[in-house]
A and B are shown apart, each in its own frame.
Chain A
Amino acid sequence: MLDYIWLVPFLPLFGFVINGLLGTRFPRRAVGIIACSTVGLSFLFSLIAFFSLPDQPVADKVLYNWIKVGNFKADVAFQIDPLSIIMILVVSGVAFFIHIYSIGYMHGDPGYSRYFAYLNLFVFAMLLLVLANNFLLMYVGWEGVGLCSYLLIGFWYERKSAADAGKKAFIVTRIGDFGFALGIMLIFKTFGTIDISEVMHLAQGRFEVGASLLTAITLLLFLGAIGKSAQIPLYVWLPDAMEGPTPVSALIHAATMVTAGVYMIARCNVLYSLAPTSLMVVAVIGCATAIYAASIGLVQNDIKRVLAYSTISQLGYMFMACGVGAYAAGIFHLMTHAFFKALLFMGAGSVVHALAGEMDIRRMGGMRRYMPTTYLTFLIAALAISGIFPFAGFFSKDEILWRAFERNYILWAIGVITAAMTSFYMFRLLFKTFAGKPRVEKEKLPQVHESPRVMTIPLVILGVMSVIGGLAGISKAFPLLGGSRFLSEKLNIMRFLEPVTGGHHVVGGEAVGLERWMMLVSLIIALLGIYVAYLFYIRSPQLPNRLARRLKGAYNLVLNKYKVDELYDFLFVNPAKRFSVFLWRIWDDRIIDGIVNGVASFCKVCGRVGRRVQTGYVQTYILLIIIGAVLIIWYCL
Chain B
Amino acid sequence: MKLLKSFVSFTFPLVVMLVVFSIYLIINKVVDNYKQNITDDYAIVVIANTPLDEIDEIADIKVKSIEPIDRDKIIKNVQDNLSNTSIDLLKRKLPYFYKIYLDEFPTTTKLQQIRKELKTISNIRKIETFTNNHNKIYSLFLLVQDMVFVLFSVVLLFSILLLSKQIKIWFFEQNDRITIIQLHGGSLLYSSKPILKVIISSAIFSSIFVSLLLYFVMINISAIVQPEIVVFIPKVFSLDMEIVQILSLAFVIPLITFFGLLIQYKTK
The reply to whether chain A is a binding partner of chain B is no
- A residues lining the B interface (CB < 8 Å): none
